[in-house]
Amino acid sequence: MRLRFILSEIGIGLRRNLSMTISVILVTFVSLTFVGSAALLQLQIDKMKDDWYDKVEVSVFLCPATSPEPTCAGGEVTEEQKQAIRDALDEPEVAPLIVQPVFFETKEEAFASFKKQFGDQSWASVATVEDMNSSFRIKLTDPSQYQVVADVVSGRQGVESVQDQRRLFDRLFLVIDRATLLTGGLAAVMLVAAVLLITTTIRLSALSRRRETGIMRLVGASTMFIQLPFMLEGAIAATVGSLMAVGGLWLGVQYLVTDWLGGTVSWIPYVTTSDVLTVAPLLVAAGILLAAISSLVTLSRYTKV
């Protein structure tokens, strides 16, 4: 009997405030979509870091015949200078950080790679083997230890420059990180709007049924029994909105990321629909939490008689 009464009260409340209920669903949907997008962007960054950081190399470019660098004042790198660099990389404080063996790329190999990558560009036709740098390509056991290796080889005679590929990726990750922060900021604003709107909806529903709640109080109904229908109304609307957000994210990842981006640029490890399902419980829980916060703020005041 009590369950039937509570369900009937929920139905009455949803019908009386239909437009506000739809607004709650929509604002919850939009806000949690931003929250989910921020979470998926962070997962995307983590996937890319895990995949790319394991592949990055430290490139020690050696002096060509003509270079303005002070360490290249003696002209092209000599065999003695190359051996000195190898010896430095074999030192006890450096060797454990390096995945052995260290690969040496000759000028001819560098020129072949250059032609393969830029051969279709008109400006590349003027390049020659002598314009290339020979180099040591060093793979680290821990890419974050780049500076240790760089300090050992930088400034040595025969070394023109030292480049860490991770720094190139860090610029990309910085852009995505900022996009994540922007999305998170918008999500926070939308969550506040959702709380305010759910609070308003519950308040209007409570005011419209003030007489009924007064009668219930007179016949001895508990505070929880009186407030429960209002709490469930907000929870239902917020849950529907959160499920819509999960559905929207799933469709977006499936058709925009997996099918479109995955088919266009296949070498990037993208987030998948399984990642959306991982985030989904958090979004549903966030929707219910929104309703709970709004209910606590509102009901203690507007269900008093």
Dump pLDDT digits (tens) for 228-259: 666 677 778 788 888 999 999 999 999 888 88
Of 93, 102, 104, which is closest to residue 149 (Cα–Cα)?
Answer: 93
Q: Which amino acid is at 136?
A: F
37 and 101 in a single domain? The answer is no
Measured between alpha carbons, how far is 250 from 149 in angstroms, rounded to an integer? 43
Count Cβ atoms within 10 A of the Cβ of residue 109 and give its class: 0-12 exposed, 13-18 middle, 19 or more buried.
middle
Residues of the chain above pLDDT 90, percent: 5
Same domain, 44 and 149: no
* Co-location of 131 and 277 in the same domain: no
**Would you tell me how many other CB atoms lie within 10 Å of the CB of residue 113?**
12
* Closest residue by Cα to residue 114 from 159, 150, 61: 61
Question: Where are the alpha helices (H) located in the chain, listed in sequence order?
Answer: 2-16, 18-52, 79-89, 107-118, 146-153, 165-208, 210-218, 223-252, 262-264, 273-302
Q: Are residues 48 and 156 in the same domain?
A: no
My answer on whether 224 and 280 are in the same domain is: yes
Do 206 and 127 reside in the same domain of the chain? no
CATH number, position 121: 3.30.70.3040
The closest alpha carbon to 111, from 125, 129, 124, belongs to: 129
Domain boundary among 118, 143, 169: 169
Whether pLDDT at 6 is above 60: no
Report how many domains make up the chain: 2
Look at residue 249 in the predicted model and tell me its pLDDT: 92
d(CA 132, CA 138): 18
Domain of 191 in residue numbering reads as: 2-52+177-302
Query: Is 155 in the same domain as 272?
Result: no
Same domain for 93 and 66?
yes
Q: Are residues 200 and 274 in the same domain?
A: yes
Of 151, 169, 187, the last residue of a domain is: 169
* pLDDT, tens only, 152-208: 888 888 888 888 766 666 676 677 778 777 877 877 787 777 777 777 766 766 565
User: Do residues 48 and 63 both lie within one domain?
Assistant: no
Residue 266 φ then ψ, to 5°: -90, -5
86 and 102 Cβ atoms separated by less than 8 Å: yes
Mean pLDDT, to the nearest integer, of 31-36? 86
Q: Is the pLDDT of residue 138 over 90?
A: no
In a shared domain, residues 115 and 256: no
The CA distance from 170 to 183, in Å, is: 19
Question: What is the residue type of 164?
Answer: D
pTM, two decimal places: 0.60
Write down which residue in 169, 189, 212 finishes a domain: 169
82 and 185 co-located in one domain: no
Rounded-to-integer distance, Cα 81 and Cα 72, Å: 11
